[in-house]
Amino acid sequence: MYHACVRLTAFAYDLPPELIAQAPLPERSASRMLALDRATGALADRQVRELPQMLAPGDLLVLNDTRVVAARLIGVKPTGGRVEILLERAVGECEALAQVSASKPIRAGLAIATSGGTVHVLGREGDLWWIRLPGPVLDFFDRWGQVPLPPYIHRAAEESDRRRYQSLFARERGAVAAPTASLHFDEGLLQRIRARGVDSVFVTLHVGAGTFQPVRVDDLDAHVMHAEQVTVGAAACEAIAKAKEAGRRVIAVGTTVVRALESAALNAGQAAGAGNGAPHALRLAPWSGETRLFIRPGFRFRVVDALLTNFHLPESTLLMLVCAFAGRESVLRAYRHAVEAGYRFFSYGDAMFLAGGIAHNPALDRD
């Protein structure tokens, strides 16, 4: 399934800090978009607002409808020390798993005073802490918490981030980080995509705080992915099956959609007794569960034909996924071009579109 010789350092690249976007552009669809032809490796500098021209009638756009929770909460210990709580996921009505950090070690039994009431630390579970809140988890954080901007954004969250660090179609609460490819879509872009004859459907993957954790081993076989909750419903499965039968493309908006769809396909294949390397028709069935799928070079994609995504951190699992999809050398060459051309990187940054036969498509110069 994977090439064991590929190591962590194979996914490094140099990025000047000034290219890390610290705030969104005034207009969502105004971002630049680097088009990469998966077949040839050819590149074209475009803009997100040109995306409809790069789609064909009948293509199916798959979007992640997760909604970001205001997952960062500040509190104080009985001694007065500052504590930061970052929600990972709810595990009951009033209990959750979270990252809890302070200047001194956290211990079970700690009572943390917050603006919304006392949070009790119940115990440890791996790298996370089990906590009990004064009320329902998601309601509590949304009322008392702050937008959990990524660690590479070096400013405090502002009120505007509650709107901009959220897609227009976010509806299922549970993420603690945005599926950032979705942030480029405004109503005008969505309308022009629909006018192009492109259908859309939703899946849900609640992005966890683990998405920002670095890979700490050079041997990728030893890396354990964080778990994220996924739901791929019947409507998505039916729409994908129809698109595939008609020879149309399934276009994932974001790496979260890739992981959701490919996890569901693997689950369906395993249920049918098919291994990863066995040639077979696409099997996709409604599925809800946790995924730890680690997609890296050597992975065989079953569902996704094209991908819209942002630029990702060096040596990150998300960059590895993109390299698996379009080839490591082609992707890293595209990243070098993006750096030289001054693209904006990461969550509030620019985008890439990876598909076959796009970089020199005459249709890009029409409409």
CATH number for 313: 3.40.1780.10
Query: Pseudo-torsion of CA 173, 225, 309, 23, nearest 10°?
Result: 60
Above 80 in pLDDT, residue 60? yes
Q: How far apart are CA 169 and CA 166, in angstroms?
A: 8
43: containing domain: 8-68+162-365
Tell me how far apart the alpha carbons of residues 65 and 168 are, in angstroms, rounded to a whole number.
Answer: 9
Answer whether residue 3 is part of any domain. Answer: no
Q: Tell me: do 261 and 287 sit in the same domain.
A: yes
137 and 108, same structural domain? yes
User: Does residue 268 share a domain with residue 237?
Assistant: yes
CB 202 within 8 A of CB 236: yes
Q: Return d(Cα 231, Cα 53) in angstroms, integer.
A: 30
Domain count, the chain: 2
pLDDT digits (tens, 9 = 90+) for 218-250: 999 999 898 899 999 999 999 999 999 999 999
Over residues 338-361, mean pLDDT: 89
Task: Calculate what percentage of the chain has a pLDDT beyond 70.
Answer: 93
The per-residue pLDDT for range 76-112, each reduced to its tens digit, is: 999 999 999 999 999 999 999 999 999 999 999 999 9
The encoded tokens of residue 151 equal 């660690």
Reported pTM: 0.92
Q: Residue 36's pLDDT band (boundaries 50, 70, 90)? A: very high
Partners of 232 in beta bridges: 287
Q: Is residue 1 part of a domain?
A: no
pLDDT of residue 357: 77
* Most distant pair of Cα atoms in the chain: their distance: 67
Q: Residue 103: inside a domain, yes or no?
A: yes
Query: Helix, strand or coil for residue 85?
Result: strand
**Of 120, 145, 170, which one is at a domain's C-terminal end?**
145
Mean pLDDT taken over the chain: 93
